[in-house]
Amino acid sequence: MRRFSSAIALALLLSALPSQAQESGRQEEKESKRDAVELTWMSIANWYFKVGPLRIVMDGYITRVPQRIFVRSQQFPADQYAFTSEPWSSNATDVLRVRYALEAEGRLDYVLAGHSHFDHTYDTALWAALTGAEIIGGHSTCLQARSQGLPASQCTEVSGSWVTGHGERLQLAKGVTVRVVRFNHSGNASNPFQHFGRELSGPPTPDAATGGFRAGVAEDFPNGGGGRAFLFTTGEDGDRLSFFVNNSASAFDLNAPVTVGGVSFGSPLENLAAAMRDAGLTHVDAWIGTGGLAVAQLVVPVLRPKVYIPNHWDGLFNPFWAGLPFPFKDANLAAYLDAQGIQLMPQQQYFDKYRLDENGVTMQSNREVKQRLGFSDVQPFSPATASVARAVSAAMGPEDCDQ
C-alpha cells in the first residue's frame, strides 16, 4: 500500500470500515455510553480488546519462533536477533485454538500491529486471513501481510506522526476512536537493527519449500520504523473511557524524532502529547506499557495514567501452552508508580482480563477462556521457581524485545 496523508488515510478508513463493525455499532449505539472496555492479555505483547462493539486483537503472536535459529550480528553483537539460520512458519493450529477460545463465534473486527518484529506480527496476517479482520499497522506490517496473500485493501497503513500538529484519528465504530502515535523501539545505538527505525522495502519472499519467513530483525521482520502506539477513547463526553498501549519503547531517544530514510515521524513524547491534546485528555484510565522505570519517568508526566498494566515482560521464547513462566517483578518501577499515585496491576496468568468502566480498572479471572486453553486461573509458582525466575527477570532489565 502506498503511503498517504493522514487526512486521506482517515477518509479511507472511514469508508473501509468492515460492515460487521458498522452493523454492531448501530445495534449497540444506545449502549455505547455505558460500554465497558475489556483488555485480555494473551502473553508477550498480545492483547484481545473488546471496546464498545468492537473485537480487536493487538499483535496476536502465538507461534513461538525458537531461540536456537537466531544469529547475532557480527558487527553489532548486542543485536542478537538480527538474522536466522532457517525460515520458520506460523503455527495456524495454535492461533485457531486461541481464536475459538476467545469467542465461540470467533468474530474479529481489527488486528492492530504495534511494530513488525517477529514477536509481534508473525501471526498478524494469519489472524486477519482467518477472521476477515482488517489490519491497522505500519508499512512493513502491511508488506508482511501482502507476502502472506492478504489483499492490500485488508491492511491499512498508519504512520502515527503528529509533526504537523495533526495526526491519525480513526473512528473504528460509533463512539470508539483510536489515535495512532509513532513511538520508538527498545535498545539504543549498540543494537541499531533492533532499535532504529527500519522498514521493509518490499514484500518479503516466502521460503519456496516451507512458505516460512526469516524472522530476524535485519531480515523479514524489521521494527517497522520504530512502532505504532494507540490511544483509545470510547464513550461520550464526560463518560469517556481511555487507555494507551505501546509495545516497545526506549528512554534513549524517546524525545528525539523517529526517522526512516531521513524522513522524520516526530518524537514519541511529542506525538503522544499532541494525540492527548487532540483527544482533549489530561490523563488516561490505563496505560498498557513497556520500558520499565526509565520510560515511565518520561511518559507519566504526559499520560498521567490512573493504572499501569505491564506489557511484554515475560520473555520471548517461553512455551505458550505452559502459561506464565515467572511472576512480574520490577521494584524500581513499582516504587516510582506508587509515589505517583498510579496503581500497578501486573498479570498473574495468561488470559487475565482487565475490565475498565466508570469505576476504574478491575482484574477478572476469565476462567472460562482459560479453561478452554488449559490454563489455571493463577499460575502456581513454587517458592524455588519464583526465586529463580525473579533473578532472571531482574537480569533482563527494562528492555523488551532484547532480554
Q: How far is the CB of 45 from Zn ion (least distance, A)?
A: 6
Interface stretch with Zn ion, choices 53-61, 112-120, 252-260, 296-304 (CB under 5 A): 112-120
Cβ distance to Zn ion smaller for residue 221 or 232 = 221
Nearby residues of 297 by Cβ (< 8 Å), 6 or more positions away: 251, 336
Cβ distance to Zn ion smaller for residue 37 or 83 = 83
Confirm or reject binding of residue 117 to Zn ion (CB under 5 A).
Answer: yes
Cβ distance to Zn ion smaller for residue 82 or 281 = 82
Cβ distance to Zn ion smaller for residue 63 or 248 = 248
Are the CB atoms for 112 and 133 separated by under 8 Å?
Answer: no
Interface stretch with Zn ion, choices 60-68, 76-84, 240-248, 288-296 (CB under 5 A): 240-248
Could you give the string, one character per residue 311-350, with x where binding to Zn ion holds by CB under 5 A and - elsewhere? ----------------------------------------
Cβ distance to Zn ion smaller for residue 119 or 270 = 119
Cβ distance to Zn ion smaller for residue 248 or 271 = 248
Size of the site for Zn ion (CB under 5 A): 4
Q: How far is the CB of 305 from Zn ion (least distance, A)?
A: 21
Q: Restricting to residues 246-265, which ones interact with Zn ion according to CB under 5 A?
A: 248
3-state DSSP assignment of residue 3? coil
d(C-alpha 396, C-alpha 392), whole Å: 6
Confirm or reject binding of residue 195 to Zn ion (CB under 5 A).
Answer: no
d(C-alpha 318, C-alpha 378), whole Å: 17
Nearest-10 crossing angle of helices 139-147, 124-131: 60
Q: How far is the CB of 223 from Zn ion (least distance, A)?
A: 5
Cβ distance to Zn ion smaller for residue 53 or 204 = 204
Confirm or reject binding of residue 401 to Zn ion (CB under 5 A).
Answer: yes
Cβ distance to Zn ion smaller for residue 184 or 233 = 184
Cβ distance to Zn ion smaller for residue 184 or 248 = 248
Q: How far is the CB of 299 from Zn ion (least distance, A)?
A: 17
What is the C-alpha R_g of the chain? 19
Nearest-10 crossing angle of helices 124-131, 92-102: 60
Interface stretch with Zn ion, choices 89-97, 119-127, 146-154, 164-172 (CB under 5 A): 119-127
d(C-alpha 82, C-alpha 391), whole Å: 26
Q: How far is the CB of 273 from Zn ion (least distance, A)?
A: 23
3-state DSSP assignment of residue 392? helix
Q: How far is the CB of 117 from Zn ion (least distance, A)?
A: 3
For 318, counting Cβ atoms within 10 Å of its Cβ (0-12 exposed, 13-18 middle, 19+ buried), the class is: middle
Confirm or reject binding of residue 169 to Zn ion (CB under 5 A).
Answer: no
Residue 135: closest CA among 202, 147, 199: 147
β-strand partners of 301: none
Q: How far is the CB of 369 from Zn ion (least distance, A)?
A: 23
Cβ distance to Zn ion smaller for residue 21 or 316 = 316
Interface stretch with Zn ion, choices 69-77, 244-252, 255-263, 293-301 (CB under 5 A): 244-252
User: Contact with Zn ion (CB under 5 A): which of 119, 134, 220, 270?
Assistant: 119
Q: How far is the CB of 400 from Zn ion (least distance, A)?
A: 5
Q: How far is the CB of 141 from Zn ion (least distance, A)?
A: 12
Residue type, 171: Q
Q: How far is the CB of 140 from Zn ion (least distance, A)?
A: 12
Residues that bind Zn ion (CB under 5 A): 117, 119, 248, 401
